[in-house]
A and B are shown apart, each in its own frame.
Chain A
Amino acid sequence: KQEVTQIPAALSVPEGENLVLNCSFTDSAIYNLQWFRQDPGKGLTSLLLIQSSQREQTSGRLNASLDKSSGRSTLYIAASQPGDSATYLCAVGDMGRRALTFGSGTRLQVQP
Chain B
Amino acid sequence: NAGVTQTPKFQVLKTGQSMTLQCAQDMNHNSMYWYRQDPGMGLRLIYYSASEGTTDKGEVPNGYNVSRLNKREFSLRLESAAPSQTSVYFCASLKGPPDTQYFGPGTRLTVL
Contacts and interface: CB of A to CB of B under 8 A. Distances in A.
Interface of A: 4, 31-32, 34, 36, 42-44, 46, 49, 51, 89, 91, 93, 97-105
B42 A98 contact: no
A102 B100 contact: no
B64 interface: no
Interface of B is mostly: strand
Contacts, number: 61
A99 B58 contact: yes
Given A42-B105, A49-B99, A97-B48, 20 more contacts: A36-B103, A43-B90, A43-B105, A43-B106, A46-B101, A51-B98, A91-B43, A93-B99, A93-B101, A97-B31, A98-B96, A99-B48, A100-B43, A100-B101, A101-B42, A102-B42, A102-B43, A103-B42, A104-B40, A104-B41
B42 A4 contact: yes
Nearest to A100: B101
